[in-house]
Amino acid sequence: MAEELVQFLADLKEPEALAFVEKSLAEGTDPASLLDQAKKGMTLVGQRFADGEYFIPSLIFSGEILKGIIQRLEPHLKKSGEAEEKLGKIVVGTVAGDIHDIGKNLVVFMLDVNGFEVTDLGIDVPVDKFVDAIKETGSTVVGLSGFLTLAYDSMKETIDAIEKTGLRDKVKIMIGGGQIDDDVKVFTGADAYGRDAMDAVKLAKGWIGG
């Protein structure tokens, strides 16, 4: 039963999960159904993280297991014409004046393994670079990261610039990092804030679907 894969991934059992995928493919199991089960497993991991049962290392490890599964499934998905399409495009970066990237990198990683095409602009990103990236990629979601309190002004300036260029109604903007709360969200003009990488994934899926 492909349901076993959900449990292997949720329980972080890498050898069992990968062996199950290889055995299932050899037996002719539909690769798309295996991919679907792997995604369900990741959803359970996210829930355990939210409940405080798992911590960041487990979250990263689950993403590595998922990458291994996808590597094994991709050739079969392409053969059957069912190669996975990306859910949507997202631009992410740490705003001007801030060089913290641990949280941002985790967000990028989790968005990537959950099926989004992510453009990572890096750290200390000028306002114009965000605007240009939205135009160039056609992204519909923007993630602004910042750990320092000074980043709040940069976030507001970035969102104001996106509005001035007429792109604000075409994108959803999430912010995260440090002590960000609802007051900061209102101050910056963002659509939502996330406490962690799984929040970012939930917000993106809510806005884009998947």
For residue 204, what pLDDT is reported? 96
Tens digit of each residue's pLDDT (9 = 90 or more) over 86-136: 889 999 999 999 999 888 998 998 898 888 999 999 999 999 999 999 999
Distance, in Å, from the CA atom of 159 to the CA atom of 167, rounded to the nearest integer, reads 10
Domain extent, residue 38, equals: 3-79
In the chain, the percentage of residues whose pLDDT exceeds 90 is 67
- CATH number, domain of 93, equals 3.40.50.280
Mean pLDDT, residues 67-80 taken together:
83
pLDDT at 83 > cutoff 60: no
* Whether residue 180 sits in one domain with residue 111: yes
* Whether residue 97 sits in one domain with residue 74: no
Sheet holding 172-176, edge to edge: 117-120, 89-94, 141-145, 172-176, 192-194
| Residue 84 forms part of a structural domain | no
For residue 86, what pLDDT is reported? 83
Which region among 41-50, 165-174, 181-190 has the lowest average model confidence (pLDDT)? 41-50
3-state secondary structure 108-168: HHHHHHCCCEEEECCCCECHHHHHHHHHHHCCCEEEEECCCCCHHHHHHHHHHHHHHCCCH
For residue 103, what pLDDT is reported? 86
* Whether residue 120 sits in one domain with residue 31: no
Q: How many structural domains does the chain have? A: 2
Domain termination residue (choose one: 79, 113, 143): 79
For residue 76, what pLDDT is reported? 84
* Whether residue 197 sits in one domain with residue 100: yes
| Residue 152 forms part of a structural domain | yes
For residue 84, what pLDDT is reported? 66
Q: Quick one: 210 exposed, middle or buried, by C-beta within 10 A (0-12, 13-18, 19+)?
A: middle
For residue 2, what pLDDT is reported? 57
- CATH number, domain of 53, equals 1.10.1240.10
For residue 3, what pLDDT is reported? 83
* Whether residue 154 sits in one domain with residue 114: yes
* Whether residue 93 sits in one domain with residue 60: no
Q: Residue 194 phi/psi, 5° resolution?
A: -120, 145
